[in-house]
Structure 1
Amino acid sequence: MKGNEVVLTLSIESDRDLSEAISSNGISVTKAWRKGDLKLKGSILKYRNFCFSIEEKFYDIPSAGDIIKKFLADMNVARSIKLQSVKKLLRVVIYSYGNLPGLYYDTDLLRLLAVNDINLDNDVYFLDE
């Protein structure tokens, strides 16, 4: 029986090009796109801003709060959250196969998100086996 999969994604978005910020800070990204890039091949939909994301997957974890702290301590993520004049979003996506991890976020984690102006989004999907 599968337990759960948790996908953490930090997205950094700006109306200005982020290439210099990525290279000068030595940030390794999972995905990056530029304003005007097509969202999907063959689509007419285009991105409205410059953005990059850093993503990591975790499996069968007991508590989402614990792995978020670990994720935010990653060197690439830590450098990214220090960037100024950008929009920051941390997505926590949980795919549950009957084993839902705890969603407890302590004050230290919430303070870290607030001080660094990071928005938090949670999505939980209950899936059949």
Structure 2
Amino acid sequence: MRRFGSILSLTGLGLLAGGMLFFGAVMAPLVFTRLPLSVAGPFIRTAFPFLYLYCLITAGLSCAGYVSLRRLRSAMVPGFAILATLWSWFWMLPRLDAWRLAGNAAAFTRGHDVSTWVFGFEFFLVILLLIREGMARG
């Protein structure tokens, strides 16, 4: 069972990091540099539920693996990613939509900046944990 927990925690963590990196470094910049803004904004908005679901699944796998190994401090990283993703999806995203629809550009920009920093902080923690895992095995 220990081997399964290790595989689950590391695979989930690696997939989480990869998905976050792909969305932030490839998909979003590509969409906003290749599509007209009137298309890019609504298109990227439709991608968020898929991104959030992906993050919840991969972070959940990782967290379950760490919990099965009784590595609760390590489980806090994917656990935080789960909480931050739920916050982003069910609290921040509806507010961003409302601010955008109301034409409140200042509130939208501020909220978008906050959500970007939260996503970046999640990614930073995930990468730090991956580095720590790699160093422990090397």
TM-score by length of 1: 0.29
Give the number of the structure whose alpha-carbon radius of gyration is greater. 2
Higher RCO (C-alpha 8 Å, min separation 6): 1
The answer to which structure has the higher helix fraction is: 2
